[in-house]
Amino acid sequence: MKIMSLINEKEIYVPEFDDAVSLHPEQLVINALEVLLDNDREALPVRRNGVCIGIVYTKDLIWFLTNSNKEYNLLFHKFNFDLNTAVAMMHLK
């Protein structure tokens, strides 16, 4: 699966996400999923200090949670990862 989510340190511009709803790079995966689902969104921008530095997709977070080494059953631990760490780990696989 191709991972579309990304978080940079530099500003990016995504015109379709000029609304007030956004995520923070240090937000927990479980909280980010709640925001995405409550707002019925497939993706949301990631902002730090009001600056858009990335985008996170619902499907990528679901893949991150479900694609694991079942031997160690890491699902519950992954809920508590921050978005920065989760996105970085997704791009390593």
* pLDDT bucket at 31, cuts 50 / 70 / 90: very high
Q: For 36-80, what is each residue's pLDDT tens digit?
A: 999 999 999 999 998 999 999 999 999 998 887 665 567 778 889
pLDDT value at position 4? 96
Q: What length is written for the chain?
A: 93
Q: What is the pTM of this model?
A: 0.88
How many angstroms separate the CA atoms of 46 and 53, rounded? 6
Q: Residue 20 sits in a domain of what CATH number? A: 3.10.580.10
Rg of the Cα trace of the chain? 13
Domain assignment present for residue 1? The answer is no
Q: Which residue range(s) make up the domain with 83?
A: 6-92
DSSP string, 25-78: TTSBHHHHHHHHHHTT-SEEEEEETTEEEEEEEHHHHHHHHHSS-TTT--HHHH
Based on the structure, what is the number of domains in the chain?
A: 1
Domain assignment present for residue 47? The answer is yes
Domain assignment present for residue 14? The answer is yes
